[in-house]
Amino acid sequence: MSTLADQFSHDLSTLLRSGALEGSFADFVQLSGKNLEARTRRYDEWRSNRLKHGVWPFSTELQSGPGPEVTVIDEAGKQRTGVNFASQDYLGLAAHAGVRAAAIEAINQYGTHIAGAPVLQGNSSLSLRLQKALGEMVGLEHVVLFPTGWAAGYGVIAALVRDADHVVLDQYAHNCCVQGAMAATRKVHRARHLSTNGLVRHLPRIRAGDAKNAILVVTEGIFSMDGDSPDLAALQSACREYEATLLVDVAHDLGAVGPDGTGSLGLQGLHGKVDLVVGSFSKVFASNGGFVSTSSTAIREYLRPYAPSHTFSNAISPPQSAAVLMALEIVRSVEGEALRQKLHGVAQVLREALTAAGVVCLGKPGPIVPVLLGREALGRIMAALCFDRGVFANLVEYPAVSVGACRFRMQVMATHTPAQAQFAAEVTAWAYQLAKKLLAHPTSAGTAV
């Protein structure tokens, strides 16, 4: 029979006294004082303390591509090999031979870099073909490319919204849209997560007081933190009723769910029918990069000189365009459908095994399997235990979620096996229960379990 302390390789009483389980990134947002460098030191002390006590799971180093089994080194230098539910490569296309070959061919033809922003000679035949293919896939033919998904979300809002306009965001809208909204206007409204009524409720109120200015409503196809989806048809029709514009960020669902990979929009019968779609290549399409898709030529033309992260940033490189083009082709093929089925099969095994072990998952079946933990202390101990046992997933703390609402987010790939999902669920459930016990009875680390 082992004790709690045996199972937890760290010295729990030292850890509890160290302060490494306390505090959050939120404590260091406000800075004051005239010395910019000195103002950052308090944060660095907090970070170093967490690192020293083994509860700093961020910025780890991958020793290979983001496959289902990887070797990882943490920032303290600890190395582990294990199953990887921390990467975002839902169909496993980053390792696909066809995608790799396309990128290599592009390098051979163009080199590694296009050496210009899109408006200043940064397009290639590959990026132009990609725009066209994406327009077909999303069903909104006019596409503008961005160097990242973040740049796309930020750029489209910064380009289109002015300070008299309103932006209504789901509470969990991604940081790129939140930052874009805050840069564009002070009239930013947040609605309770996933509440159609919550979002829609703002529209008559805003319209009653302001008949002249624009309203942009922002949501996601699958939310990155909770793995759930809004009622997009209800949102789009409310937007039409109040002359608002709907923007849907499909970073996590395009390619990964829906008929022919058309995402939540396809699943909800809205393919090609919403106002603005923003996406990222970094979750399914094996590359950095992002895009905005619209049925309006005028919006496309306006974005090109007025979306700062498109206009003033280098275009995606030829190997990136080539990788995404090939990934798109696979996503829309029979092979893509088979990969999606594998992805959903493994995700289901993971979800069911976690639930059977008493761990509550958020969201609905799909590539994101988030476990809501709440207290950061619980998440930090649990993440350390999982890392030690070779299960890699992401501890999500503020600013990605609110303080006191941390999550252990697992992301599935089509290339995972059901056995890997089963193992990850067992270790995660064990770590969750043990972390809870350790925190509930901090003085009883010697207790037999």
Ligand X SMILES: Cc1ncc(COP(=O)(O)O)c(C=O)c1O
Cβ proximity to ligand X, 149 vs 263, nearer residue:
149
Q: Closest distance between ligand X and the C-beta of residue 327, in Å?
A: 13
Cβ proximity to ligand X, 252 vs 407, nearer residue:
252
Helix (H) or strand (E) holding 206: helix 196-209
Cβ proximity to ligand X, 174 vs 340, nearer residue:
174
Encode burial over 292-304: b for 16+ CB neighbours within 10 A, e otherwise. Answer: bbbbeeebbebbe
Q: Closest distance between ligand X and the C-beta of residue 221, in Å?
A: 8
Residue number of the CB atom closest to ligand X: 149
Binding residues vs ligand X (CB under 6 A): 148-150, 153, 174, 176, 220, 224, 249, 251-252, 280, 282, 290
Cβ proximity to ligand X, 316 vs 359, nearer residue:
316
Q: At what angle do helices 232-241 and 196-209 cross, to 10 degrees?
A: 10
Q: Closest distance between ligand X and the C-beta of residue 48, in Å?
A: 26
Cβ proximity to ligand X, 353 vs 400, nearer residue:
400
Q: Closest distance between ligand X and the C-beta of residue 218, in Å?
A: 10
What's the start-to-end Cα distance of the chain, in Å? 7
**Joined tokens for residue 104:** 């290599």
Helix, strand and coil content of the chain, in percent to the nearest 5, comes to 45, 15, 40
Q: Closest distance between ligand X and the C-beta of residue 249, in Å?
A: 5
Cβ proximity to ligand X, 127 vs 282, nearer residue:
282
Q: Closest distance between ligand X and the C-beta of residue 16, in Å?
A: 33
Q: Closest distance between ligand X and the C-beta of residue 283, in Å?
A: 7
Long-range contacts, 131-135 (Cβ 8 Å, 24+): 131/291, 133/325, 133/328, 133/329, 134/279, 134/291, 134/293, 134/328, 135/293
217 bridge partner residues? 168, 246
Cβ proximity to ligand X, 161 vs 400, nearer residue:
400
Contact 127, 322 (CB under 8 A): no
Q: In what order do the strands lie in the sheet with 79-84?
A: 61-62, 69-73, 79-84, 391-392
